[in-house]
């Protein structure tokens, strides 16, 4: 959802939209979103033996923090009015990295949730690419209407998922 929100923001700032702009942005976001859970998974797999009994609390804390961060960012999201075209390569990498840090944190929880490390990043990457591609076009056409509402909804969903994991483990 955060990659989608940033894609909408990028689309809002692009004056002359081309398919290449949307593809470039979507590919970068999708790639980073797919790779970061793998990095998080590898790190999480290494610490699993140390916090195995607390895994549901860790998943709850991480997902809740990520969700709260998304809600906070949605309320403070602004389009950079100085940028009138597609983001530069440097800016795109920075945006991709920034929006995928939560995917890194989610990747930390994957060993505890017994999720496939092969399927999850592929699905995450494809979904992120699709949503980001759409987001650039939607932002270019209707971005001023949606603003941060979608990112807020995504943050709420992550908090609810973390709460569900905690309740399920405790019951």
What residues make up the domain containing 50? 2-170
Residue 107 to residues 22, 58, 72, 161, Cα–Cα distance (Å): 26, 12, 21, 14
- The structure tokens listed for 33 are 């979103």
The CA-CA-CA angle for residues 170, 68, 121, to 5°, reads 75
67 and 137 Cβ atoms separated by less than 8 Å: no
Name the band, by pLDDT with cuts 50, 70 and 90, for residue 51.
low
Per residue in 60-104, pLDDT (tens digit) is: 787 788 778 777 877 775 544 444 567 778 878 887 887 787 777
Q: What is the pLDDT of residue 24?
A: 93
Give the global pTM: 0.66
pLDDT of residue 89: 83
When divided into structural domains, the chain yields a total of: 1
Span 28-41, pLDDT tens digits: 999 999 998 898 88
Q: 111-162 pLDDT, tens per residue? A: 777 777 888 899 999 999 999 999 888 888 875 565 556 667 767 877 887 7
């Amino acid at each position: 959802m955060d990659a989608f929100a940033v894609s909408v923001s990028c689309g809002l700032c692009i004056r002359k939209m081309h398919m290449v702009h949307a593809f470039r942005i979507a590919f970068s976001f999708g790639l980073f979103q797919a790779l970061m859970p793998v990095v998080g998974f590898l790190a999480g797999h290494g610490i699993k033996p140390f916090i195995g009994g607390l895994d549901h609390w860790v998943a709850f804390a991480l997902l809740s923090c990520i969700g709260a961060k998304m809600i906070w960012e949605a309320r403070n999201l602004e389009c950079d009015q100085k940028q009138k075209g597609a983001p530069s390569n440097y800016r795109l990498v920075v945006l991709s990295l920034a929006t995928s840090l939560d995917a890194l944190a989610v990747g930390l929880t994957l060993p505890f949730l017994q999720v496939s490390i092969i399927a999850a990043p592929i699905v995450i990457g494809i979904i992120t690419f699709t949503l980001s591609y759409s987001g650039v076009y939607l932002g270019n056409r209707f971005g001023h209407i949606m603003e941060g509402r979608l990112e807020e909804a995504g943050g709420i969903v992550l908090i609810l998922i973390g709460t569900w994991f905690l309740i399920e483990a405790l019951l």
